[in-house]
Amino acid sequence: MKIKETPLKDCYIIEPTIFEDDRGYFYEKFNEQKFEELTGMNGHFVQDNVSKSSYGVLRGIHLQKGEHAQAKLVSCLEGKVWDVAVDLRKDSPTFGKWFGVELTPENKLQLYVPRGFGHGFSVLSEKAIFAYKCDNFYHKEAEGSVIWNDPDLNIDWKLPEEAIVLSEKDEKLPTFAENNF
């Protein structure tokens, strides 16, 4: 397992060491001990979620706040997604900055999104199956969000705007400026 730093403090790309031969491949998807040793971050996860989406679906930008904040380890099991993390920690040197990475089953990359970050992804393939591990349980009352097309964040979702498909809830999220992070 290799850990690559992103431009955002405490946000990492995890690249597995892959062992391939004529039978196929093998890799360790996650190792809590190695992760903690390489990053100094807690790698204990308590909840796994999976979503299936079609081309153009954009999910986000979501987060859990306060004592219910969640760190996430995300990956794409089928298809291709553009995954985005936004640092929403006021005391962070990268507050208000975002980072994106393409996740596919072929590149086998994962993104570690720490507590206090917003997270979202857009589907670039015909369909995608997306998985995320969370280090805390979901609580509806702790939800936070930022609208996908926030002018201050100016995120490139790698899709034409007319192709973007949002949930009713995600169409009405507050802007970055309207939030009190």
Domain that holds residue 109: 45-172
- 81 in any annotated domain: yes
pLDDT by residue for the chain (181 residues), tens only, comes to: 999 999 999 999 999 999 999 999 999 999 999 999 999 998 899 999 999 999 999 999 999 999 999 999 999 999 999 999 999 999 999 999 999 999 999 999 999 999 999 999 999 999 999 999 999 999 999 999 999 999 999 999 999 999 999 999 999 999 999 998 8
- 167 in any annotated domain: yes
> How many domains, in total, are found in the chain?
1
- 30 in any annotated domain: no
Apex 129 CA angle, 19 and 2, nearest 5: 35
- 127 in any annotated domain: yes
Is the Cβ–Cβ distance between 119 and 153 less than 8 Å?
no
Beta bridge partners of 48: 133
| CATH code for the domain in which residue 70 is found | 2.60.120.10
From 12, 112, 119, 132, active-site residue: 132
Task: Tell whether pTM > 0.85.
Answer: yes
- 56 in any annotated domain: yes
Does residue 138 carry a catalytic annotation?
no
Does residue 68 carry a catalytic annotation?
no
- 87 in any annotated domain: yes
In 3-state terms the chain splits into helix, strand, coil percentages (rounded to 5) of: 10, 40, 50
Instruction: Give me the amino acid identity at 145.
Output: S
From 55, 62, 68, 139, active-site residue: 62
